[in-house]
Amino acid sequence: FLAMHYTSDISTAFSSVTHICRDVNYGWLIRNMHANGASFFFICIYMHIAR
């Protein structure tokens, strides 16, 4: 879903992320869930290794 609105060009990458957060329906929610989910995954991995 996010890949349909994201462009990886250096000059337009930041503006495409702001477009996702501001203009796409629930884009801000999906982006934050993706980022927090990745952080939660790594926290679980580190806890598993430390155990």
Residue 46 domain boundaries? 2-50
Residue 36: strand, helix, or coil: helix
Q: Model-level pTM greater than 0.85?
A: no
- For the chain, strand residue ranges (E) read none
Identify whether the C-beta of residue 31 lies closer than 8 Å to the C-beta of residue 2: yes
Q: How confident is the model at residue 47 (pLDDT cuts 50, 70, 90)?
A: very high
The count of structural domains within the chain is: 1
Note the pLDDT of residue 1.
76
Phi, psi of 21 (to 5 degrees): -70, -30
For residues 7-36, give the mean pLDDT.
93
Residue 44 has pLDDT above 90, yes or no: yes
Round the CA-based radius of gyration of the chain to a whole number and report it: 14
